[in-house]
Chain A
Amino acid sequence: MRSPNLVVGAAMLALVVGAAIFAPQIAPHSPIDQAFTDQLRPPSPPHLFGTDEFGRDIFSRVLYGARIALVIGVLADGIALALGVVLGVVSGYFGGRVDAVVMRSVDVLLAFPYLLLAMVVVTILGPSLINAMIAIGIVYTPQFARLVRAAVLAIKEQEFVEAAGAVGAGVARVLGRHILPNILSPIIVMATLTVGFTIVETAGLSFLGLGASPPTPEWGSMLATGRSFMLTAPWIATFPGLAILVTVVGFNLMGDGLRDLLDPRLRGRG
């Protein structure tokens, strides 16, 4: 097999994506219906993952939680990607003072721990899932910007790019036709790897009460609730925790696999 990582990662993600898409068909209960007669039940056939303190079915909540995790994680990643590519390309291609200003700003952002920076942004915007997504998008922008800038710097010195310039191609054409297509593979790998992190960070913000608001079945806030029941009802925190694990490991394995596949330096080995 060329890349077992890719296959295993893709299989794990298929599971999560499947859960997200078919949640309404698979879930035996509504994710937000409370039942004060059915609280804190351990896993059993009617409630595969048990119930929480409001008597809600954790299996159903974990399934619906996949929708939120994927949508928010991918969108946050998309925000970071879009901003990062623009900044990186501008910085790398034009160089000089523009480069200095952009890169120093990026350095400042990188100096903060991710979660702390995200908390600052959420505090400014106000706590909500959408704002948590925006915050995390902003926090991961510098990584993309740096990667893209480095790639652009390497490519723009190549002869075919210089040649394109020499025959009179404009900036847009050089960037769009010659530079961007050639730096696509590291961006794809980075984007895939980053989704895992954005999902964890979103869960982290919700865990701290700065993301999803109740009764949204979000994995991070489910973990936060379950924390105080670790001794009496460990299933409340365990299953959303496992869901985060599967998703993040899935994205990481797939990212690694894609790198093996797309990086020319690694090609032909193994």
Chain B
Amino acid sequence: MRRAVGRLVPLLLVVVMVPVGLWGVAQAQAPKTLVIAIGADQTGLDPQTVENNESGFIMSTIYDSIVNYKPGSSLVGPGLAEKWEVSPDGLVYTFHFRHGVRFHDGTPMNARTVAQDVDRAINPQNPCYVLARKGVDTYDDFTYGSVKDGSVVKMDVLSDDTLRFTLPTPNAPFLSSVAMIWQGIVSPAATKQYNCDAGQHPVGTGPFKFVEAVRADHVTVDANPEYWGGRPKVDRIIFQVVPESATRMLKLERNEAQILADVPPSDYPRVTGNGALKLYQQPGLTILGVALSNEAGPFKDKRVRQAMNYAVDKDAINKGLYGGATTASQGMPPVLWGYNKSVAPYPYDAAKAQALLKEAGFPSGFTADMMVYGNPRGYNPVGGAKLGEAVQGYLQKVGINVKITQYEWGAYLDKIRHTPWEGFAISGWSGDNGDPDNFLGDLFEWDTAAGKARTNNNSRHHNPEYDRLMVQGRQVADQARRAQIYEQANKILHDDAPWIFMNHTNQVRAARATVRGFLLNPLQMFFHMEQVSLQ
């Protein structure tokens, strides 16, 4: 009997130790992986050569800019540069860089390497000059100006840690633009190694390092333990491409994904009604509307454009389709300084709309085309087709017969930007840099020098007084004075009614309740993911 027990002891020990040991291993090694479900694939991960949200989502974990946005805001804070000065005339920006930061490939980050990367944005002699590359979308001229029209900045490396930009004319939004993810700094060694195209081999300085990208499936990034802002609290982030919104929702519910980048408004109750999930909402830095062809057809008449604004019950649509978005009255969202609080949205008043139409010579209405797109956008979570259908229903009641044609997103952009379209077109915008000029200037300004509408002035709005204010707004450095200018411009815009001003959607994301430290950002990017942990 004794012998038998003696023989059993080691066996018992093993039986007891195996689970304990495994538990220890699990404790030591279980990598914390965060899965973020996104609706579409990235189109490239070189910041200077893309302009779409999905690429931005991923890049915001890989790169830093010279300055970064502060967590949860669109205000500029330190980035690769710890501090900076702006000359009183608003022309000279001097940046002082951090010490001891390295790119993920080991290349040291300093004023020289940063300048090497920025050089491809401003120097036509650079073999990797981005503006000369075919088939890329870039914000380089938006941020740094372009050689073509003499607006380009001059860049000087003053020392290993000091970089100076000199602007030809004051451009108040410059600092905000430098902070955009589209101006994230890429290792110049990587750009060289991949022959000017490191888009699928991104190397930055950010909290996460690129691991792999599988087309239309996923992108994996791993924690950068040496991150200057502190080691990330999760070990790995997988951005998983899941096109169907219903499938994305199921993945979140089954804990196969922990964060959803896009949530359709009809799913909000599903998230809020589930204790294991959390809905994140923030007033969006967005605007959505229906652009009217200001230079063609019945919409040449301001009264007709105003009538369109009266004819649509924007509040009902915003509540019904957009889960309670803020109704728009002017060219930019109320979260931004320069918003004119004394301008109220056009009320829903079909009789007034009909009276205006009669006055303008259309007593029995008219027929017009409407261009729409199907996919959801950051500023339009239900997609253009649904908004179009809702608006069509209201316009029919005042005698406007709308014929809807749907285009694929790429074709849609081409149509709305490059053809003299007439009628209605769903239009919207997500702020790039948190500056009013990025709404009012980009969307509604006439390029006086070129004698045509700016690229994204889709409605071809043209009002010389308004354009004068836009130029002035860029030249003044004082923010309080600029705010006054934009308030004035917004009043003009409301009266001009170049769009049916619809709404400012909330930025909405859903996550598991186990996700901690996750902050929305008005720019809709996944900034500061190093602060996110999984419980």
Interface of A toward B, CB cutoff 8 Å: 32-34, 36-37, 39-40, 53-55, 127, 209, 213-215, 227-233
Interface of B toward A, CB cutoff 8 Å: 244-246, 249-250, 264, 266-267, 270, 313, 316-317, 319-321, 374, 385-386, 388-390, 392-394, 396, 403-406
Selected contact of B390 from candidates A33, A34, A40, A227, CB within 8 Å:
A34
* Cα–Cα, bound, A154→B195 (Å): 68
Which 4 residue pairs of A and B lie closest in terms of their CB atoms, listed nearest first?
Answer: A36-B320, A36-B316, A214-B389, A34-B393
A232 pairs with B389, CB closer than 8 A: no
B406 pairs with A232, CB closer than 8 A: no
Selected contact of A214 from candidates B270, B316, B320, B392, CB within 8 Å:
B392
Question: How many whole Å from B272's CB to the nearest CB in chain A?
Answer: 13
Residues of B within 8 A of A232 (CB): 266-267, 270
* 10 pairs of residues in contact across A and B, judged by CB atoms under 8 Å: A32-B396, A39-B320, A53-B320, A53-B386, A54-B321, A213-B403, A228-B244, A228-B245, A230-B246, A233-B266
A214 pairs with B267, CB closer than 8 A: no
Q: Which residue of A lies closest to B386 (CB)?
A: A53
Question: How many whole Å from B401's CB to the nearest CB in chain A?
Answer: 12
Residues of A within 8 A of B394 (CB): 34
Residues of A within 8 A of B321 (CB): 36, 53-54
B246 pairs with A231, CB closer than 8 A: yes
B403 pairs with A36, CB closer than 8 A: no
* Cα–Cα, bound, A155→B108 (Å): 87
A32 pairs with B393, CB closer than 8 A: yes
Selected contact of B404 from candidates A36, A39, A40, A214, CB within 8 Å:
A214
Residues of B within 8 A of A34 (CB): 390, 393-394
A36 pairs with B317, CB closer than 8 A: yes
Residues of B within 8 A of A215 (CB): 389, 392-393
A231 pairs with B390, CB closer than 8 A: no
Q: A55-B320, A214-B392 are in contact. List 4 more A-B contacts (CB 8 A).
A: A34-B394, A53-B266, A54-B390, A213-B405
Q: Which residue of B lies closest to A214 (CB)?
A: B389
A214 pairs with B388, CB closer than 8 A: yes
Q: Which residue of A lies closest to B394 (CB)?
A: A34
Selected contact of B264 from candidates A33, A39, A228, CB within 8 Å:
A228
B389 pairs with A54, CB closer than 8 A: yes
* Cα–Cα, bound, A189→B189 (Å): 71
Residues of A within 8 A of B244 (CB): 228
Residues of A within 8 A of B250 (CB): 231
* Cα–Cα, bound, A192→B426 (Å): 42
Question: How many whole Å from A128's CB to the nearest CB in chain B?
Answer: 9
Q: Which residue of A lies closest to B250 (CB)?
A: A231
* Cα–Cα, bound, A232→B244 (Å): 14
Selected contact of A228 from candidates B246, B390, B393, CB within 8 Å:
B246
* Cα–Cα, bound, A145→B393 (Å): 44
Residues of A within 8 A of B392 (CB): 214-215
